[in-house]
């Protein structure tokens, strides 16, 4: 072993001299060469036999993932696809959809290349393929992992029926800063909830991961790592933090996905500790593979390999070596591997093996066309039952933020004024990354309301555009820009509102204001909409804000001045129907926030599980000099993590704990009776938090450790109880040991991260 390792080291040094690569890269490579030998199972035997026939160039071809033009998800394009395919220079394709095209490309790979190796076909199926579910941030607000499994299963079945065998999902990046537009694609700020959702997504996409049928495909956990911690919420910038924070707060959902058996991982664009993730061997080899036991393959993000030249860590002709050494097996779009990797046999073999093993696992060598049945494509996509599930999921994601004087649900007889730039929009309801979602078949809120009440009962006015200066959202293709003057539109809205009993406004962000490359420096309601709201508020009629958003928003004025706020995110193909049934009380909202809403953008990054400081505000009044507080804004969030109202009321009895001390290996139980004291049946999400009071390293003021969705009929009550086990008390200490330290703990139970009852217990030596 030692001799092999030394020889390999010499070889690596020689190669680096020859090709002028950095010494850094060589030291990363040493690591890989120490990896275990290939196991001798059937899959590996098959792959070894195949690889023995492959040329170096053909192996490089397997590491090459090319984009096609059905969808555009980045700047670069790949040309000459067919020629490269026939030459065996392509291992997979992204952004090609539909059985007809995929079948033909697969045919060329299988019949017209020397070795007939089938292709992977990948696509971003983030919250649905054609039947679009709510955005992932919204789905996390359901706190309903089983429903998320179902949503991911349907999305996967549709994608698999369209010929795809690989989806670039789940996105599990923790994000604590609403300025980052991609917060929409993940499950919010909490590592525990993020891990639950990561597992649910992997299960929905991969099932039991045997891929024996053709309804499950390879999942791809992304973006590894820390992509959601982009500095100042600015997409693609560096993410800088201690390893203590990485392990405790950011890594858990990635690890959960790995433990759930995710087949592939995507490297993130950002810089982590001075190395782009794509060239970061510590992340890919030490953490992902060695510490967490990941056995699948790693793909770069879109041109992530070539972008390392812009990061300035290697010249364009040597970035490929850096990425490969760092453990990135497949090069998405930049074609650096196929074009520049020379003399890398051993590393290329490893990467190639991992990719071929994934193809073998999928069963593509037995039947390369297993996902290419046109009949299935016709039958499985956009079925009514899929749409019904999307509607049901949407209903569970809505968060009722305010409901003064129980203005909601509407009683049914009111004359309704429907106002706002999103009231008659179709496409905006689908949200960002909506794959093959079809806006033409997506009813608008106006249509759904008219469908329910009849056209004559609804008075509609657009009222304003999203912003006054449409240039303010440079990412946008706006729905329909209304050319009328601001005044004219406002006057129309005003008169419509005056003749109504209730004003329902549909406002917030457009779909493209969140998602990739959609960072915002301001989280307020866009100016034109805020001004319209101010005008409507002078009329004196109740105003219900139906809020569309892909991120937390600083809607303080709206909270202080409007009667009701229903956060509907971007709810997908059947969002409008779900909103209407919620407005009229057939659906009782039960969603709770999985991100903190700040009062103002200046509080970001803002998250509930922050550390205390040596100068906490504690019970002191704001403002207190020499304490941790701003001079110009009170310390609270606008709406805390875990917050959400219902049309009914839930009363919590006193919390009890089975013991006030715990020995290693013991389980405590914390219990509370929850009663539905209101008039509607409803679902309450009961939350459990823990705090480690004294520990060797600083700990968060509280951390979510459990939750339960409890469905209670009006008048019904139930005891909810959570186990507290020893492992729940563990954390990564200053030296990154995963330990539970004896001493005092607080256990908190309640309806959100602020409204909690607290008890104490001791972990004994
Ligand atoms: C995104 C990824 C996505 C990829 C392929 C990139 O720009 O960061 O999340 O999977 O494109 O479309």
Q: Which atom of ligand 1 is nearest to the CA of 73?
A: 12
pLDDT band at 20 (very low <50, low <70, confident <90, very high): very low
State residue 142's pLDDT score. 99
Query: What's the pLDDT tens digit per position in 551-566?
Result: 999 999 999 999 999 9
State if residue 124 touches ligand 1 by the CB under 6 angstroms criterion: yes
Cis peptide before 409 (omega within 30 of 0): yes
Assess whether the C-beta atom of 222 lies below 6 angstroms from ligand 1.
Answer: yes
Task: Please give the distance, rounded to the nearest whole angstrom, from the Cα atom of residue 43 to the centre of ligand 1.
Answer: 29
Q: What is the dihedral of CA 305, 306, 311, 316, to 10 degrees?
A: 120
Which amino acid residue places its CA nearest to atom 4 of ligand 1? Answer: 302
What is the reported pLDDT for 209? 96
671 close to ligand 1 (CB < 6 Angstrom): no
State the closest ligand 1 atom to the C-alpha of 220, by its place in the atom list counted from 1: 10
Please report the pLDDT score of residue 497 as a whole number: 98
- Range of lowest pLDDT (68-72, 371-375, 611-615): 68-72
Residue 512, classified by CB atoms within 10 Å of its CB into exposed (0-12), middle (13-18) or buried (19+), is buried
Q: How many residues can be counted in the chain?
A: 765
How many angstroms separate the alpha carbon of residue 123 from the centre of ligand 1?
Answer: 9
Cα separation, 286 vs 355, whole angstroms: 20
pLDDT of residue 473: 66
Task: Specify the pTM.
Answer: 0.95
Q: How far apart are alpha carbons 367 and 359 in whole angstroms?
A: 11
pLDDT at res. 10 = 39
513 pLDDT band, cuts 50/70/90, is very high
538 CA distance to ligand 1 middle (Å): 45
Residue 4 has pLDDT above 50, yes or no: no
Per-residue pLDDT tens for 748-764? 999 999 999 999 999 99
Average pLDDT over residues 675-690: 98
Ligand 1 nearest-atom number relative to CA 223: 9
What are the backbone angles phi and psi of residue 30, rounded to the nearest 5°?
Answer: -55, -40
Task: Please give the number of the atom of ligand 1 that sits closest to the Cα of 95.
Answer: 12
Instruction: Indicate whether 113 pLDDT > 80.
Output: yes
State the pairing for strand pair 667-676/650-652.
antiparallel
The answer to whether 546 and 419 are in contact (CB under 8 A) is: no
Q: What is the pLDDT of residue 477?
A: 55
Say whether pLDDT at 13 is over 60.
Answer: no
The C-alpha atoms of residue 179 and residue 224 are separated, in whole angstroms, by: 20
**Tokens standing for residue 2:** 């030692």
What's the 607 CA to ligand 1 centre distance in angstroms? 26
Tell me if 68 CB under 6 Å of ligand 1.
no
- What pLDDT is stored for residue 9 in this prediction? 37
Q: What is the pLDDT of residue 470?
A: 72
- Our answer to whether residue 301 is catalytic in this structure is yes
The pLDDT, as a whole number, for residue 479 is 57
DSSP collapsed to 3 states, 496-541? HHHCCCEEEEEEECCHHHCCCCCCCCCCCCCHHHHHHHHHHHCCCC
Distance 632 CA to ligand 1 centre (A): 39
Rounded CA-CA distance 414/427 in Å is: 28
pLDDT at 8 over 80: no
pLDDT in tens, 298-321: 999 999 999 999 999 999 999 999
- Which pLDDT does position 478 carry in this prediction? 52
10 Å Cβ neighbour count for 367?
Answer: 12
For residue 73 and ligand 1, the question of a CB distance below 6 A is answered with: yes
Out of 177, 190, 249, 301, the active site residue is 301
The residue with greater pLDDT, 336 or 73, is 336
What is the arithmetic mean of pLDDT over 10-39? 41
Going by C-alpha positions, the residue among 222, 233, 198 that lies closest to residue 277 is 222
**Residue labelled with tokens 């229903």:** 566
Residue 26: pLDDT over 80: no
Distance 752 CA to ligand 1 centre (A): 33
Indicate whether residue 516 lines ligand 1 (CB < 6 A): yes
């Amino acid at each position: 072993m030692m001799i092999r390792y030394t020889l390999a080291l010499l070889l690596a040094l020689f190669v680096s001299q020859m090709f002028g690569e950095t010494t850094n890269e060589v030291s990363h490579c040493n690591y890989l060469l120490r990896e275990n030998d290939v196991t001798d199972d059937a899959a590996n035997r098959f792959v070894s036999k195949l690889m023995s026939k492959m040329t170096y160039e053909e192996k490089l071809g397997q590491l090459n993932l090319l984009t096609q033009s059905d969808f555009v998800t980045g700047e670069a394009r790949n040309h000459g696809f067919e020629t490269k395919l026939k030459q065996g220079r392509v291992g997979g394709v992204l952004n090609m959809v539909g059985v007809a095209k995929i079948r033909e490309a697969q045919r060329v790979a299988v019949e017209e290349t020397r070795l007939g190796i089938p292709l992977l076909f990948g696509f971003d199926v983030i919250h649905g393929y054609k039947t679009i579910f709510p955005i992932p941030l919204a789905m996390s607000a359901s706190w309903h992992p089983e429903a998320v499994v179902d949503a991911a299963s349907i999305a996967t079945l549709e994608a698999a029926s369209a010929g795809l065998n690989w989806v670039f999902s789940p996105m599990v990046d923790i994000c604590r800063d609403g300025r980052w537009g991609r917060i929409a694609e993940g499950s919010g700020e909490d590592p525990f909830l993020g891990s639950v959702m990561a597992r649910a997504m992997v299960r929905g996409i991969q099932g039991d991961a045997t891929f024996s049928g053709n309804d499950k495909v390879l999942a791809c956990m992304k973006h590894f790592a820390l992509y959601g911690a982009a500095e100042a919420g600015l997409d693609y910038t560096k993410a800088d933090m201690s390893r203590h924070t990485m392990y405790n707060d950011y890594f858990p959902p990635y690890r959960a996905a790995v433990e759930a058996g995710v087949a592939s991982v995507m490297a993130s664009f950002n810089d982590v500790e001075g190395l782009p993730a794509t060239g970061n061997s510590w992340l890919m080899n030490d953490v992902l593979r060695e510490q967490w036991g990941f056995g699948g393959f790693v793909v770069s993000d879109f041109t992530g390999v070539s972008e390392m030249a812009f990061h300035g860590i290697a010249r364009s002709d040597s970035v490929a070596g850096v990425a490969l050494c760092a453990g990135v097996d497949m090069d998405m779009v930049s074609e650096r591997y196929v074009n520049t990797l020379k003399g890398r046999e051993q590393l290329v073999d490893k990467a190639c093996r991992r990719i071929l093993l994934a193809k073998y696992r999928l069963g593509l060598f037995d039947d390369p066309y297993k996902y290419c049945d046109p009949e299935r494509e016709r039958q499985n996509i956009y079925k009514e039952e899929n749409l019904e599930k999307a509607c049901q999921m949407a209903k569970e994601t809505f968060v009722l933020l305010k409901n003064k004087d129980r203005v909601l649900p509407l009683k049914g007889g009111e004359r309704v004024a429907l106002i706002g730039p999103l009231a008659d929009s179709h496409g905006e309801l689908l949200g960002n990354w909506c794959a093959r979602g079809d806006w033409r078949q997506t009813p608008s809120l106006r249509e759904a309301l008219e469908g329910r009440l009849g056209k004559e009962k609804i008075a509609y006015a657009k009222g304003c555009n999203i912003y006054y200066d449409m240039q303010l959202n440079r990412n946008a293709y706006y729905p329909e820009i209304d050319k009328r003057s601001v005044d004219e539109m406002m006057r129309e809205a005003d008169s419509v509102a005056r003749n109504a009993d209730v004003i329902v406004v549909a406002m917030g962000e457009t779909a493209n204001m969140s998602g990739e490359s959609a960072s915002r420096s301001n989280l307020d309601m866009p100016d034109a909409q805020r001004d319209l709201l101010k005008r409507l508020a002078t009329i004196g009629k109740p105003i219900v804000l139906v809020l569309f958003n892909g991120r937390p928003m600083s809607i303080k004025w709206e909270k202080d001045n409007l009667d009701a706020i229903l956060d509907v995110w971007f709810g997908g193909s059947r969002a409008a129907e779900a909103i209407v049934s919620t407005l009229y009380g057939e659906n009782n909202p039960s969603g709770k926030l999985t991100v903190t809403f700040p009062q103002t953008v200046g509080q970001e990054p803002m998250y509930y599980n922050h550390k205390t400081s040596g100068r906490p505000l504690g019970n002191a009044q704001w403002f207190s000099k020499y304490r941790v507080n701003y001079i110009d804004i009170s310390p609270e969030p606008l709406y805390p993590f875990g917050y959400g109202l219902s049309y009914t009321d839930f009363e919590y009895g006193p919390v009890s704990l089975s013991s006030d001390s715990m020995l290693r290996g013991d389980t405590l139980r914390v219990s509370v009776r929850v009663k539905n004291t209101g008039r509607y049946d409803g679902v309450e999400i009961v939350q459990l938090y823990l705090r480690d009071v004294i520990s060797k390293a600083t700990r968060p003021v509280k951390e979510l450790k459990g939750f339960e969705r409890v469905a209670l009929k009006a008048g019904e009550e139930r005891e909810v109880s959570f186990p507290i086990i020893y492992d729940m008390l563990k954390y990564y200490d200053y030296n990154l040991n995963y330990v539970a330290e004896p001493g005092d703990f607080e256990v908190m139970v309640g309806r959100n991260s602020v409204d909690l009852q607290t008890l104490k217990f001791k972990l004994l030596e």
